[in-house]
Amino acid sequence: MSSESPPRTVLDLTAMKASGRKIVMLTCYDAIFARLIAPEVDVLLVGDSVNQVVAGHTTTLSATLEQLIYHTRAVRRGAPNSLVLVDLPFLSYQVSVEDAIRNAGRVLQKTGAQGVKLEGGRHVVATVRALVERGIPVMGHLGLTPQSVHALGGHRIQGRETGAPERMRNDARELEDAGAFGLVLELVPAGLARRISETLRIPTIGIGAGAGCDGQVLVLHDMLGLNETFSPRFLKRFASLAGTVRDAARGYAKEVRAGTYPDDQHSFE
């Protein structure tokens, strides 16, 4: 178990950056995993990646607000004292500021999460400001923004094109000025991510963005080695559970077919 209690509010993340403490964030979609990992991490993120990891879709685009609410409520039950953030899914905040306020407010109201995350730069600044003004904490997301995967031409490193680094730095500053309490940087060159992190007061959380960010996030199932088909360069598997699951299923099936399970020890008189 971590020697330090995880932060309980979004303000604690800013304090962590100021003191030089790295922020540990993992995605999570259910109560059991939330209960297991909550003591070790600072933030649990219920990502719209659930649409791919759990539901089997190829993108996050068909994730729904109800889907995110359902999984966030499960995570909250498993980790009642943790800092929980939740992604706003595609089209829940892009249509209008009014839609964004209504949907983000509903997420917090129904789930007990302490903040929402949304993707985009300058074009979502007005939305971020409106949410923050209404007491809804917002984390931004720059670089590879999965809800724009088709416009970006796939899952590619962002920020290498002419003028792109300066645009990303400007977007980061504008999101901070609008009141965002933090910023995810995804698939961004390490040097650019470090420079952005050094110029912001708010913390940055990297995924495929190098060690210069103020914290890191991974998808839990990827980190545990459950998803063997996903092997990007930035991913380090801290376990190899896919093989463990297969072995367990094989052992169970063997004993059931042989009639050795359940035995007397696992039966009732």
Q: Which portions of the chain are predicted below pLDDT 50?
A: 1, 3
Choose the catalytic residue: 66, 161, 166, 186: 186
Could you tell me the domains of the chain? Answer: 11-223 (3.20.20.60)
pLDDT at 5: 59
pLDDT at 154: 87
CB 107 within 8 A of CB 68: yes
pLDDT at 250: 98
| Catalytic site includes residue 186 | yes
The pTM is what?
A: 0.94
Q: How many whole angstroms separate alpha carbon 68 and alpha carbon 105?
A: 13
pLDDT at 6: 52
pLDDT digits (tens, 9 = 90+) for 169-198: 999 999 999 999 999 999 999 999 999 999
Element (H, E) at 25: strand 23-27
pLDDT at 1: 43
Q: How many whole angstroms separate alpha carbon 85 and alpha carbon 47?
A: 8
pLDDT at 3: 46
Q: How many whole angstroms separate alpha carbon 30 and alpha carbon 200?
A: 33
The DSSP secondary structure of 109-154, one letter per residue, reads HHH--SEEE--BSGGGHHHHHHHHHTT--EEEEEES-GGGTTTTTS
pLDDT at 11: 95
The DSSP secondary structure of 49-84, one letter per residue, reads THHHHTT--SSSTT--HHHHHHHHHHHHHH-TTSEE
Tokens of 143: 């670089």
